[in-house]
């Protein structure tokens, strides 16, 4: 998540809403077998970074250039597939409905975010991640480095208002 925060800082420096995303593939210590899940190396430095991104909607004049979408595109290129099975997606703020839909299609194992978005969140407001009609339900972890994620957003909007 700290790498995602660094991506959010890049967005803020570019005048973009400061969101950052990093997608990693954790190192497997023991593969899944006989109905037991895989065991992953808890050491974060053992993970492989598949993709990273930060908001670039203004700079690219592209409404879809959200941190998650750009990080997923980089990850697809890295793995040579549109499936990100077994990966973890870290993002500083809860994905919007567009990004949540893309995440469901990409099939990461886990989505981790810092700040929830109770007004426009793809998970908390629109229920995309746990909707019964979708074919993939990633594990969701919220509130990781929430204070830092919230602080960068608040500082950005405070500056914009002044």
User: Annotated catalytic sites, by residue?
Assistant: 68
Residue-wise DSSP of 110-150: EEEEEE--TTT-TTTTT--TT-TT-S---EEEE-TTHHHHH
Closest CA to 122 of 143, 93, 144: 93
DSSP 45: G
Residue 46: strand, helix, or coil: helix
Cβ neighbours around 35 below 10 Å, total? 5
């Amino acid at each position: 998540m700290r790498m995602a925060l660094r991506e959010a800082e890049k967005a803020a420096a570019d005048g973009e809403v400061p969101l950052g995303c990093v997608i990693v593939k954790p190192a497997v210590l023991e593969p899944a077998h006989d109905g037991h899940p895989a065991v992953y190396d808890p050491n974060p430095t053992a993970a492989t970074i598949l993709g990273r991104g930060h908001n670039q909607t203004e700079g690219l004049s592209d409404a879809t250039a959200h941190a998650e979408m750009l990080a997923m595109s980089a990850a697809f290129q890295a793995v040579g597939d549109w499936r990100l099975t077994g990966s973890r997606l870290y993002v500083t703020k809860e994905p919007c409905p567009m990004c949540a839909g893309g995440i469901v299609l990409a099939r990461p194992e886990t989505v981790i975010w810092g700040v929830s978005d109770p007004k426009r969140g793809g998970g908390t407001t629109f229920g995309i991640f746990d909707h019964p009609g979708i074919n993939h339900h990633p594990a969701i972890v919220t509130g990781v480095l929430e204070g830092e994620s919230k602080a960068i957003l608040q500082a950005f909007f405070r500056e914009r208002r002044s």
